[in-house]
Amino acid sequence: MIAVDISCGYVDAPVNEGVDMVAEINRMKKEKNAVILAHYYQESAIQDIADFVGDSLALAQWAAKSDAEILVVCGVHFMGETAKILCPNKKVLIPDTNAGCSLADSCKAEDLAAFKKQYPGYKVVSYVNTSAAVKAHTDIVVTSTNARQIVESFPADEKLIFGPDRNLGNYINSITGRNMILWDGACHVHEKFSVEKIVALKKEYPNAQVLAHPECKSAVLALADKVGSTAALLKYALNSDCNEFIVATESGILHEMRKNGNGKTFIPAPPADSTCACNECNYMRLNTLKKLYNTLKYELPEVTVDAEIATKAIKPIEKMLEISAQLGL
């Protein structure tokens, strides 16, 4: 392998003129026994070339069962870490290591450790959108697909801390009747959906249903006909008798909705602070087809997780996967 500089977080090598990146990515995947796992928030070109496109739970499940030698995780860094923790002997690559997550960043491991000390006897339920170091301080990991069922799997009087997403935590408290102590974090993308603009869209499309991810603020969730993870919103939209949907989550999901939606209309819910119609995650969108091509070509950058942290972090992740399997999720 040629030595390349990845100090900027990705392989910044030129792609020769005339190279068909799609054909080359497909060729290299086969040659190197690699699979590409992409989140629904990736740009369309990446979703189209991926071997598997899914939500954060599905990406972890796929990584755990894959027999490929190389996993290329097209998503954000915590997704790469989760795959590496589950598959320590595989090479796990991510097109751009700068693809972080504002929600994961809102909870540092040392701060969570100090927070836990204030609540002796409490168990920690962590959203998958956390660093491996935070997962190492966690009793069980959840995603937006299984959070409700996993919280309900604890005895009703179990004392729980939920972090880092206060919106998801509030939502789970409201539908389960629990009173979990919430970490005060949020996703900068889901927090900025505009209630006023969604209400205006509902006037323009009176037959449209509103689909919202539980990372949205409660005022947005109150407008929703369906609240769910990206996978749940997709499934609902495809199976519903309704033909028009206003979608309050990162707009990458609209690609899959439109692709499989039999001509149904999907309208992205707009953010409050800009004139853009769509709300994109700047971290997710750091991954591009060119970076993916270079990642496969140079097998860089690789996701690594400190061995001691990984030994602790795998336990709450595996617990989540076990319960999800029992529930058929």
Segment interacting with ligand SF4 (CB under 6 A) among 99-107, 220-228, 262-270, 305-313? 99-107
**From ligand 13P, ligand SF4, none, interface partner of 56 (C-beta below 5 to 8 A by class):** ligand 13P
Binding-residue pattern over the window 218 to 257 for ligand SF4, x denoting contact by CB under 6 A:
--------------------------------x-------
**Residue 210: Cβ within 10 Å count:** 23
Q: Give how many residues touch ligand SF4 by CB under 6 A.
A: 13
Binding-residue pattern over the window 128 to 167 for ligand 13P, x denoting contact by CB under 6 A:
-x-------------xxx----------------------
**From ligand 13P, ligand SF4, none, interface partner of 144 (C-beta below 5 to 8 A by class):** ligand 13P
Among 61, 82, 126, 129, binds ligand SF4 (CB under 6 A): 129
98 - beta bridge partners? none
Q: How far is the CB of 128 from ligand 13P (least distance, A)?
A: 7
**Cα distance between residue 16 and residue 270, in whole Å:** 38
Return the residues of window 186-215 that contact ligand SF4 according to CB under 6 A: 187-190
CA dihedral in degrees (271, 273, 275, 279; nearest 10)? Answer: -30
| CB nearer ligand 13P, residue 191 or residue 299 | 191
Q: How far is the CB of 316 from ligand SF4 (least distance, A)?
A: 19
- Read off the DSSP letter of residue 9: S
Binding-residue pattern over the window 168 to 187 for ligand SF4, x denoting contact by CB under 6 A:
-------------------x
Closest CA to 114 of 163, 77, 79: 163
Among 25, 50, 55, 131, binds ligand 13P (CB under 6 A): 55
**From ligand 13P, ligand SF4, none, interface partner of 299 (C-beta below 5 to 8 A by class):** none
Helix, strand, coil percentages in the chain from 3-state DSSP, rounded to 5: 45, 15, 40
Cα end-to-end distance, the chain, whole Å: 40
Q: Buried (b) or exposed (e) across 36-61, using 16+ Cβ within 10 A?
A: bbbbbbbbebbbebbeebbbbbbbbb
Q: Buried (b) or exposed (e) across 9-23, using 16+ Cβ within 10 A?
A: bbbebeeeeeeebee
Q: Is 146 in the site for ligand SF4 (CB under 6 A)?
A: no
- At how many degrees (to 10) do helices 230-239 and 253-260 cross? 20
Residues making contact with ligand SF4 (CB under 6 A): 76, 101-103, 129, 187-190, 250, 281, 283-284
Residues making contact with ligand 13P (CB under 6 A): 55-56, 76, 129, 143-145, 187, 215, 229-230
